[in-house]
Amino acid sequence: MAPSQEILDHQFGPFRVPVMLRRPRGDAPLLLVLPALGVPASRYQRLQESLAEAGYSSAVTELPGTGTSRPRPSRRSDFGYNDLVHGFLPSLLERLGLPTAVLGHSIGGQVATLAAREGLTGQARIVTVAAGHLHFRCWQGSMRMKVLALAGLAWGSGHLLGYFPGRVLGFGGHEARGVMADWAASVFSGRFAPERRQTGENRAGPSLHLAISGDDFAPPAATARLASLLGGEVRHLDLPLTGGNPHLSWLRAPDAIVAELQRWLE
């Protein structure tokens, strides 16, 4: 029997946010997937198929204003990291019930980690893929300079245009000014905006942080620093070459990621 599929519409402020649900069977454990910056939910179809083959239900949400979510970010439709951590993710979890795990890719992993530290993800385990902290010291050499330059562009263009023109700059998509201002501030300061609101007590359960060899956007030092916020486990994976940057190309062949996830959860 083919897995059942449906689309839920979730409201977050002014944004209509579609959530793609895929259930191989009614009692299958549910995993919530949080995408990377500028990556639409449709890019996670192969991941959902692989999760279904492994016996998991999955819910892949758009990020607000990305993919089929509307409206697009603007001066009037804006949000930042605090909104994602303290509002968007908790409201999604309440809507979906009690997922077994939250799987966050890149910025999705950052949001899941920060929310879990504040006890906002309930009993769900946290798994991040190709996600890291943003402090510029996590990078070396020319890549450090590129990250610093991109942070400057993110800050300046967002304030000038009211949104971040990621498609033009080759990083992300049409992104919220607030998110990218927070992103840039984290690069310079070494602290995420939600960290300033943290109580100091880590209230998260177990977490797994998967680093992919050759991923320039989330190098080992960045993944280790993100994992340290939860005292989580870091694993480094050498994945089959599928062309392109491993930060995104693993989505074409996610079976190794799903196998690692399954071993850890079970």
Residues 188-196, mean pLDDT to the nearest whole number? 93
Res 214 pLDDT > 90: yes
- pLDDT, residue 2, reads 61
C-beta separation of 182 from 155 below 8 A: no
Name the band, by pLDDT with cuts 50, 70 and 90, for residue 1.
low
Res 25 pLDDT > 90: no
> What contacts 24+ positions apart, CB below 8 Å, involve 171-174?
171/37, 171/38, 172/37, 172/38, 173/37, 173/38, 173/39, 173/66, 174/38, 174/65, 174/66, 174/72, 174/73
Report DSSP letters for 31-53, one per residue.
EEEEPPTT--GGGGHHHHHHHHH
pLDDT in tens, 44-100: 999 999 999 999 999 999 999 999 999 999 999 999 999 999 999 999 999 998 899
- pLDDT, residue 242, reads 72
- For 3, the token pair is 């897995």
Q: What are the helix (H) ranges across 84-176? A: 89-96, 107-117, 141-161, 166-169
- pLDDT, residue 151, reads 95
Name the band, by pLDDT with cuts 50, 70 and 90, for residue 254.
very high
Angle at the Cα of 98 from the Cα atoms of 93 and 102, rounded to 5 degrees: 60
Residues 136-165, mean pLDDT to the nearest whole number? 94
Q: What is the CATH T-level fold of the domain 4-134+194-265, as seen in this structure?
A: Rossmann fold (3.40.50)
In the chain, what percentage of residues exceed pLDDT 70? Answer: 98
- pLDDT, residue 266, reads 87
Nearest to 37 by CA among 92, 84, 102, 107: 107
